[in-house]
Amino acid sequence: MIIVLKPGTSDRDIEQLVKRIKKYGLQPYVSRGKERTVIPVIGDERVLENVPLTSLPYVEKVMAVLAPFKLVSREAHPKNTIVKAGRLEVGGKKIALIAGPCSVENREMIISIARQVKKAGATAIRGGAFKPRTSPYAFQGLGEEGLKYLAEARKETGLAVITEVIDTRDVELVCRYADVLQVGARNMQNFELLKEVGSSGHPVLFKRGQSATLKEYLQAAEYIVSRGNDQVMLCERGIRAGVEDYTRNTFDVVSIPVLKELTHLPVLADPSHATGKWQLIEPASLAAIAAGADGILIEVHPRPVEALSDGEQSILPNKYAAMVKKFRKVARAVGRTI
C-alpha cells in the first residue's frame, strides 16, 4: 500500500502514523519529496482493511497494492483450480457444457432433456427446484419433488446435477440430491448463504450479481473459499450496465479474461441469462469460448413457449446439439476441446 500525505503534514503526525502502521506488523518507508510525503508500506496490507486511515486529517489517499481478496486470488494460488463433481470437470483444457431447463417442471421433461443434452456433449444437467422469481406470483419451483426428478435424471444418464439453493435452511436438503449447489445472481451477497454453502464442502456454481463489480464478486467468492471450500466455479451471467434494454442484461464478455487473470477459480459463461433471447445464445457462447470461458451454461427446453420460466431464452434440444458443433470449432481455434 502507498499512503499519500497532505502538504505540510508535521513530523509529529508522520511519526505517529509510522508507529500506528508498525503496530500491525507492517514496515512503512517514509519518503519525503519536495511537495509531498508518501509512505510505501511493505507487508500484507489487508490487515489494515478495516482501518480508515483517510479519516486522519493529514492523509490524502491510500492506494492499495494487493487485491482485497486473498484465497481466490491468482497471486496466492497461480495454478488453475479444477472443480470436479461426478462427470463434470471444469477448469482444465476441456470446456464443460452444462445445460437444462430453467426450472424442473416434471419428471419426464427433465429426464428427456438430460438424455438429449448428454448426447450433444453436456456433462451436467441443470434445473431449478427452488426458483428466485422477480414476481411472487410466478412459478416458484417444485421444491424437493424437483430435486428427486433431478436425481432420477442423474441415475438415468450419469450427468452431474446442478441446482440452485436460495435459503440457508435448504442447503443440507439440496446437498442430498445435487452434485453442485448453484448460488444465483440475486444471492451473490447473501453472506449467510455463502458461509453455509462454503461449510457444506459441496461444489458451488457461483453466479455474478446483476450489479456487482468484479472486485465485489471475488470478495463474495472469498466467503465460500474461506470456509475451506475451493470447489467454486464463477459464472458471468450478464449485468445491469445501465443504458441497454434490448437484451435482458449486458453480457460482460471481457469479465471472463479479467477473472481468469485475477483468480484461479474456473470461469463459466451463461449466455441465456446474459442475453435473455434465444437468438443471441449462439453468438454469445462463441464469444465466451473465444474469450477463454471454462464452461458454457445454456437453458434448453423442449417447448419454450410452454416453459414455466425463461422460455424466451430457452433453446430447443436439437438447436442445442447443432450449436455445440460450432462451439467445438471455436474451442479448437483457441487451443481447447469440448
**What is the binding site for ligand PEP (CB under 6 A)?**
102, 128, 132, 184-186, 207, 237, 270, 273
- For residue 207, the partner it binds in ligand PEP, Mn ion, none, with Cβ less than 5 to 8 A by kind, is ligand PEP
User: Concatenated DSSP letters for 115-169?
Assistant: HHHHHHT-SEEE-BSS---SSTTS----THHHHHHHHHHHHHH--EEEEE---GG
- For residue 237, the partner it binds in Mn ion, ligand PEP, none, with Cβ less than 5 to 8 A by kind, is ligand PEP
Looking at the Cβ atoms of 170 and 310, the one nearer to Mn ion is: 310
| Cβ-closest position to ligand PEP | 184
- For residue 184, the partner it binds in Mn ion, ligand PEP, none, with Cβ less than 5 to 8 A by kind, is ligand PEP
Minimal distance, residue 310 CB to ligand PEP, in Å: 6
Looking at the Cβ atoms of 131 and 260, the one nearer to ligand PEP is: 131
Residues 6+ apart with CB under 8 A from 28: 3, 17, 18, 21, 22, 39, 40, 41, 42
Both ends of the chain: CA-CA distance in Å? 42
Minimal distance, residue 238 CB to Mn ion, in Å: 11
- For residue 3, the partner it binds in ligand PEP, Mn ion, none, with Cβ less than 5 to 8 A by kind, is none
Looking at the Cβ atoms of 184 and 292, the one nearer to ligand PEP is: 184
- For residue 276, the partner it binds in ligand PEP, Mn ion, none, with Cβ less than 5 to 8 A by kind, is none
Minimal distance, residue 182 CB to ligand PEP, in Å: 6
Alpha-carbon torsion angle 295, 119, 179, 133, nearest 10:
70
Residue 334 CA to residue 269 CA, distance in Å, equals 16
Minimal distance, residue 187 CB to ligand PEP, in Å: 8
Looking at the Cβ atoms of 41 and 165, the one nearer to ligand PEP is: 165
CA angle 225, 230, 231 (to 5 degrees): 125
Looking at the Cβ atoms of 94 and 186, the one nearer to ligand PEP is: 186
Looking at the Cβ atoms of 102 and 307, the one nearer to ligand PEP is: 102
Looking at the Cβ atoms of 121 and 132, the one nearer to ligand PEP is: 132
**In a 10 Å sphere around its CB, with 0-12 CB exposed, 13-18 middle and 19+ buried, how is residue 98 labelled?**
buried
- For residue 92, the partner it binds in ligand PEP, Mn ion, none, with Cβ less than 5 to 8 A by kind, is none
C-alpha cell at 53: 486511515
Nearest residue to 229 via CA among 265, 197, 198: 198
C-alpha cell at 314: 430457452
Minimal distance, residue 162 CB to ligand PEP, in Å: 9
Minimal distance, residue 78 CB to ligand PEP, in Å: 29
Minimal distance, residue 326 CB to Mn ion, in Å: 23
46 φ, ψ (degrees, to nearest 5): -65, -15
Residue 196 CA to residue 62 CA, distance in Å, equals 34
Cβ neighbour number for residue 57 with a 10 Å cutoff: 9
Beta bridge partners of 98: 124, 297
C-alpha cell at 159: 450427468
**What is the binding site for Mn ion (CB under 5 A)?**
102, 310
Minimal distance, residue 21 CB to Mn ion, in Å: 48
| Cβ-closest position to Mn ion | 102
CA angle 252, 92, 74 (to 5 degrees): 65
Residue 220 CA to residue 208 CA, distance in Å, equals 9
- For residue 86, the partner it binds in Mn ion, ligand PEP, none, with Cβ less than 5 to 8 A by kind, is none
